A and B are shown apart, each in its own frame.
Chain A
């Protein structure tokens, strides 16, 4: 926005100095080039053996912060200079936060793709496989069954608790529930596994009990507080005016909750449930204890050990056979599958949220 309005005779008292439009990116590029030159000199002088890319980017960005601040300070004044400096810092923080995530996804995709793309990966189990080959079907099935059952247990309990807390709960009982829900969110997952194991080994008098249902119970212990918390926040967001409008029409309280409050907050509740599923689907420790691990298919939640994807990843890595690479490849492919499942669930949640959210358009 170069203000070259020479023809106007009057000066506008509201104008202020302004840097050229693309000065930000240009200054950043120049800073990186300058630091790159410095590191090149260091390398050529023999003080370092290789060109330092990370150092260039880091010190280049630092140089940019200083340069843009000074430049802006002298041209645009102190307020704009601060704005540009903070913008640079905030953007840098965002990029730094994003780096591990991108690196993680990239590593998983690169290391996991070879085994992921083998035709048997989604058609067979690990039964009788010692070298390369075999698949993770038993683990995918196990994860879906156990997490699905955990969701079936947790969502009704969690949602009804949230409804109790927002619509009915008063006084001591409600405060106690809120307190224990908060405590439960902090339970280490291994404790949930030990709880389920202790419960079922005592109930069935079997000190070595392993089955999928126990895993679902352990996951529910972790999942219920998340569902309660998120649903409660969503239900609280429903304006009281809507409840009153329904009451004033002579609608009983339970129908008001069922037909006004829940539909209005459905999108948020579904998102919360999906987040809670994502939270427990990657749990390893409790499933290792109560569901155990196996190389075979098992569709029965109430009998025998059941493999799950996180445990599959763990066992493939921990018990490598003679062909080490095949086991590592399968571990990465398992991790990739898990990430993909979570991504699909999140996409589904967004879709559902979009379909159910109150329509505001004209």
Chain B
């Protein structure tokens, strides 16, 4: 189910502005990869290029290639919609659909695509996804209530359930815990740990403890100055990045002596 991601010399542009330059890395299947770095250094921009969400912003485009199990996402004739069905995404702020119930939110990927599903299959998928997101016990009695009636942490886990309900190969998480309290954060970190068995996970985070807790590999992004493109400075095992980084800038950042 999980897949290997290979990025070769990727440049990301917003119109004429080069936002991220020359990123090359390989993400192994069934691993958690954390991307850390200061604000505005292009972590989220890079993450969004991994499922072509980047181009939703007008004027944005990409040069270089991203291979998922050898298939180039940016090859000619590639349909971004098909890419996004393989590579799911969880956003910084929980964003359940306000017009849908909790159950419908989980089924959103199916229902919005006009696919029909037997009632029993749908119920199974809801239960499986919500169990996968560690939310089933909390919401099983009120699946018909609106998704916005949940707390922030529950909403974020609902969004994760929604993302895994379409059975993607890769899940991207853009600072999934930044709007949550420590207990909800812990719940989601535990969840990431469990999900690692089935999915390839890439997570952007500002919290270095979180990166060291959940990830196997860590990439450090940095920016030389305002208006300059962000770059991948170092990419290595998480333990190496946090204990024995090979580049001075990485060590300054992870030890808090940055800037």
Contacts and interface: CB of A to CB of B under 8 A. Distances in A.
16 contacts: A239-B95, A241-B91, A241-B95, A244-B91, A244-B95, A245-B95, A245-B97, A246-B97, A248-B89, A249-B112, A250-B81, A250-B84, A251-B109, A252-B113, A260-B97, A362-B149
Interface of A: 170, 239, 241-252, 255-256, 259-260, 263-264, 358-362
Interface in B54-109: 56, 58, 81-86, 88-89, 91, 93, 95-99, 108-109
Nearest to A253: B81
Contacts of B166: 249-250
A256 B159 CA distance: 17
A170 B57 CA distance: 12
Given A244-B56, A361-B149, A250 B97 contact: no
Contacts of A361: 146, 149
A262 to B, nearest CB: 9
Interface of B: 51, 53, 56, 58, 81-86, 88-89, 91, 93, 95-99, 108-109, 111-114, 145-146, 148-149, 159, 162-163, 166
Contact of A250 (B56, B91, B113): B113
Given A246-B108, A264-B98, 4 more contacts: A245-B96, A247-B53, A260-B99, A358-B98
A263 B112 contact: no
B163 A249 contact: yes
A246 to B, nearest CB: 6
Given A247-B53, A249-B163, A250-B81, A259 B146 contact: no
**Chain A, interface SS category:** helix
Nearest to A262: B99
B82 to A, nearest CB: 7
What 8 A-B pairs have minimum CB-CB distances, sorted nearest first? A250-B85, A358-B98, A248-B89, A249-B109, A241-B95, A359-B146, A250-B84, A263-B99
A249 B97 CA distance: 12
Contact of B113 (A242, A244, A255, A263): A255
Given A245-B91, A255-B112, A255-B113, A250 B99 contact: no
Contacts of B89: 244, 248
Contacts of B81: 250-252
Nearest to A239: B95
Contact of B97 (A242, A255, A360): A242
B145 A244 contact: no
Contacts of B159: 245
Contacts of B111: 259
A362 to B, nearest CB: 4
Contacts of A251: 81, 108-109, 112-113
B15 to A, nearest CB: 12
Given A241-B93, A248-B88, A251-B112, A170 B58 contact: yes
In this complex, which of B53, B88, B98, B162 has the most chain A Cβ atoms within 10 angstroms of its Cβ? B98
A260 B112 contact: yes
Contacts of A250: 81-86, 109, 113, 166
B114 A255 contact: yes
A247 B84 CA distance: 7
A269 to B, nearest CB: 13
